[in-house]
Every structure is written in C-alpha cells, then in structure tokens.
Structure 1
Amino acid sequence: MTIPRCLLFDCDGTLVDSEPLLAAEMASSLTALGLPFAASDYMGEFRGARFMNIVAELQRRHGAIDSDALRLGESNMRARLAERLASELAPLPGVREALEALADYPRAVVSNGPESKIRTGLTTTGLGDYFGDRLISGYTVQCWKPDPCLYLHAASLMGYEPGECIAIDDAIVGVKAALAAGMQVIHLNRFPDVETTPQGAIQISNMHQLPTVIGHLAHEAVASLSL
C-alpha cells in the first residue's frame, strides 16, 4: 500500500449539501424547456453527472430542444441556483470536524461543476479557507467524471502520484473516476438503500467517520512498508 499524502474532495454532496437545491432548480428549468424532469430523477439516476450529459440523455428520450433555448435555460438556472446557494447552503454534518482533524494533509476540491459554483458553495458555508484556490473544475480542465482525467489532473497539480491520493466522493460517477485513476477511494454513501459502493472503494455513511478511516489507511500503509 502507498502512504496517503493528499486528499481530493468532491464538492456537491460531499462537502456541501447543494444537491437538493440543484435538483429542484434543474427540475424547474428542464421541465419548462419541454424535458420532463423531477428532482427525484437527479437524486436517483443522474446524481453527480455533468449537466449537458443529463440534457443529452433527456433529449434522447423526449426529443431535441432548440440549442438557443437550452443555453438561455441553463444560464437562467445557474443564476437562480447561485442565489439559492448564497443564502440557503450548509455544509454536510461532520465536514468541518473532518477537515480540522485532517489539517496536516494537503487537500483540493475536484468537482464536475463550474469553479464559480464551487467557490460560492465553499464561501457560503465557511469552508473556503480550508482549500484556498485549490479548486479544480471539470469546466476549467474540460474533462468530467466519470472520466479519470479530472482526478489525474488534480493529482498532477497537487504534485502527487495518483496512488498517493485519497479521493472522497459521494457520487458513483466520481468514485468510478477516482478508481480508474488509480487512487484510494472513500465513498460517502448517504443512500445505501439505492446505491452500492463500487468494488475497490471504502464505504462510509457520514463525514464524521472520515478521519478514522484515513488514519487506518495511513497506519496500514506504514505497517506494510515495515514488513
């Protein structure tokens, strides 16, 4: 085992409880455009997916939508979402305590979302100082989970080999991306009744458990080197 040296956190649904807000705004916007979509569809089928991938799948099911209307709809949706994030967003339980306990590890946020959305979420919840400018967005890199390239890019920017990184992600697309990147992966599985943690990842149910799990991984890695 490789000693973990760097922590890479997903944002939505891992650090901040933004997904119910996102799901609600997507449902309103997409349905108005003629693409039937409920908030439960996001939470059940599309959680963590890139917005345009969701739109593409909905168009496959329900028919194509005018591209200009889609661009305007997305722009309006993101504006409304930003307003709600700035006033309603909260960190997930245990996140602040976990970040404090793991303060010795370099860390970054690795998200499919736009950097502006990541920054708004962290600033609103008071988590921004834990990460500074180490915010790595799929829109900046032009690479999105479940492709491993976003996590690989993050490891390179942080100056570590993939195997030296632990990825903490709540969405299956993110867990699969980090596993494919060759990282140690912790799956924050808050919906174990509908999601199965992929083989190779470690499941936790809440962020209070994270420091203990990472401590065990570090201890096991050190012990294996001494054999």
Structure 2
Amino acid sequence: MADLIFYTNPQSRGQTVRWMLEEVGAPYDTEILGYGTSMKEEPYLSVNPMGKVPAIRHKGKVVTEVAAICCYLADAFPEARLAPPTSDRADYYRWIFFTSGPIEAAFSNKAAGWEPTPERQRMFGYGNYDLAINTLEKALTGREYIAADHFTAADLFVGANVNFMLAFNLLEPREVFVDYARRMTDRDAYRRAQEIDGRLIAEMQAQQAPQPA
C-alpha cells in the first residue's frame, strides 16, 4: 500500500484532487466510495465523519476539504513547485480561500435558486453573487497566473472551480474566465486525471445499467 491514499468518487469534487495528485506525481492508491453507501459507513466514517469525499491519508494523517488537500500536497511535495516560496504566498492563500469560501458559497446558493436579500447580505461572507464574481474577474484580469509567475496549486484550484462553473452554466462566460479556464486545464496532468476519472465513471455506469433478462 502506498503512503498516500486517495478517497473519492469520480463524480465529485474529488476530480480536483485527482488533478492535484497527478501534478504532484507521487504514487498513490485510490479507494472509490459510493454515495449513500460506503461513503456513509465504516471504515470511511473513521476517515471523514462527515461522510463525504474527497479525503487523503498521507503517512497516517488525514486531510479533508479540497482546498486544504491542495495546499497540503503542495507543501508535502515541494519538488512539484506547486506553491510559491513562503515569503510570497499572500496572493496564493488569498485566492485559494476566496474561491473555497465566498465563490463556492455564492455559486452554490445561486445554483440552489437562492440568494441573500439585501438586508441580510452582511451575514454572508460573499455579500452577493455579483460582488463575488466581479471580484474574481478583477483578480484574473491582466494576469497569466493568479498567485505567482508560474502555475501553482492556486491556479489548479481556482481554475478547476472556474472550469466547473462554466461547464454547468453557473458563471457568465466572460472572456477572462473562459481564457483562464482553458489555459489552466491545458496540462498533461489535467488530461491524465480526466482520463482516469472518465474511465471510472464509465465503469460505474456499466455496472449500474440494467442487465438483459
């Protein structure tokens, strides 16, 4: 068994962590969990009591939450150069956690058909959807990368979220978003990750298909 175990379902946010693992290049084992079944049972609940994926276990230590996993892997495998030097991580942390907090909350609530009323916007970390999205647009405008002079875990995480929102029509296809998502996903590690998860999804769908009588 590898020192690094990846718990996931290919139809989940685990796709972002798969991409990160392929960028890192370290060997890892994968455990596939089912929604409503093995994801909500032991032994996985001992890994993540929330009963959700993704998660990783590295040298016996568990990390959950996609942003945290990406940051952890960038630090655990510095040879992959997926984090800037510690003295130059302000934008790196800022935009990873802006995306995992305000952006995810804004688009999740919008997808559910709900947004806070003007008098309640102070109660929410993102204010309103337009404010969060316009702030992200400003952060990306005029930059090749969002947090350094090269691709980092921040670009992977932000790029994965922008790409997801565009794919599911949760984000207006402004030129800056479309261009950024295209450039960030134009990587061999991304293509490998998509191929792996695509194959797993196809296998799951084949198993679930009704069998001929």
- TM-score, normalised by the number of residues in structure 2: 0.33
- TM-score, normalised on structure 1? 0.32
Higher relative contact order (CA 8 A, sep 6+): 1
